[in-house]
Amino acid sequence: MQTLNVRHVTHYNYANPVEFQPHRLMLRPRDSHDLRLVAAELVIWPPCKTRWLHDVFGNSVAIVDFLEPSNELRIESVLTLERYGMGTLSFELEESATSYPFVYSSDDRTDLGRMLDGHYPDPTGELQAWAKQFVAGRPTDTMALLTDINNGIHQGFAYQVRHEQGTQPPLETLRLGTGSCRDFALLLIEAARALGFGARFVTGYLYDPALDGDGPQAIGAGATHAWADIYLPGAGWIEFDPTNGTIAADNLIRVAVTRDPSQAVPVAGGFTGLVGDYLGMTVDVTVRQQQPEAIAA
């Protein structure tokens, strides 16, 4: 178990006071067997009213209504979390799912629903052909297949920080050979769906042990991070991070899971003002391990 502190600050600046429309925040994780929320603090300027809800996926969402105009907007989220690792990468799949292809049960297919379907156009089958190249034979080992696709993205594509909003369509990532963590996660999700797997998008944070002087440097630390969940009977949802080429890594801090990246924006909202009022924004994310207090002898 690791105790981690996450600080996420989003700061917008404007030339003149503007009126803020309601904002939607996805910054607070939910407790589970692998992640325990110990403490959470949300500080927002200007003054506002905040209400909480669970979205259709069960994520914790804050809806913020602002009470007055301002020439700045500052949202600071501070979390203390306990992250429990699996301790092993030996997944106990149901016997029927150990080899690909396999068929989900009727209940699983109903519950997975649209997470089984591709969401982005693939008119000539380019994405499907790319995914099928990893199928060594029929049958082939299920975990080996998914591991190869995950590694194929990690090793075959160049990571690039993108400041544009949104996520690249998978075909664009394939053709460019570059992308951000969100782009790589979406490519893996759509490739898995093209092969018949249920997959979903995950947004959260990445703890980089190198920042605490321990372990190799991870890609994507210092910002929000994204990866993919793929559903396998018997093992459930398994985390695949193609940006770093890892599976079920202990340093992934899940905040929200959605069907599509557009549903997993950490801070979303608008403002009413004059042309040229918006001056820019900064995002600062730090994730550090909390050292246990020394026990007096």
pLDDT the model gives residue 212: 64
pLDDT the model gives residue 290: 85
pLDDT the model gives residue 162: 78
Residue 141 has pLDDT above 80, yes or no: yes
Rounded to 5°, angle at Cα 83 from 82 and 84: 120
pLDDT the model gives residue 208: 82
| Average pLDDT of span 56-85 | 96
pLDDT the model gives residue 52: 98
Domains of the chain: residue spans and CATH: 2-83+265-289 (2.60.40.2250), 95-263 (3.10.620.30)
pLDDT above 70 covers what percent of the chain?
93
Residue 219 has pLDDT above 80, yes or no: no
Q: pLDDT by residue (tens digit) across 154-171?
A: 999 999 987 677 899 999
Distance (Å) of CA 11 to CA 14, 50, 221: 10, 18, 19
pLDDT the model gives residue 1: 85
Residue 213 has pLDDT above 60, yes or no: no
Strands across the sheet with 225-232, in order?
246-247, 236-241, 225-232, 198-206, 252-258
pLDDT the model gives residue 166: 86
Residue 296 has pLDDT above 60, yes or no: no
Q: pLDDT by residue (tens digit) across 232-272?
A: 999 999 999 999 999 999 899 999 999 999 999 999 999 99
Q: pLDDT by residue (tens digit) across 27-55?
A: 999 899 999 999 999 999 999 999 999 99
Q: Kindly state the tokens that stand for 293.
A: 């207090």
pLDDT the model gives residue 94: 97
The mean predicted confidence, pLDDT, of the chain is 92
| Average pLDDT of span 49-75 | 98
| Average pLDDT of span 217-239 | 86
**What gap in Å lies between CA 213 and CA 203, rounded to an integer?**
25
Distance (Å) of CA 79 to CA 29, 129, 166, 204, 272: 9, 42, 25, 12, 31
Residue 214 has pLDDT above 60, yes or no: no
Is-contact 294 37, C-beta < 8 A? Answer: no
Residue 295 has pLDDT above 60, yes or no: no
> What's the pTM value of the predicted model, to 2 decimals?
0.92
pLDDT the model gives residue 297: 39
Distance (Å) of CA 237 to CA 3, 54, 99, 112, 153: 23, 20, 17, 11, 20
Residue 206 has pLDDT above 50, yes or no: yes
pLDDT the model gives residue 164: 73
Phi, psi of 45 (to 5 degrees): -130, 135
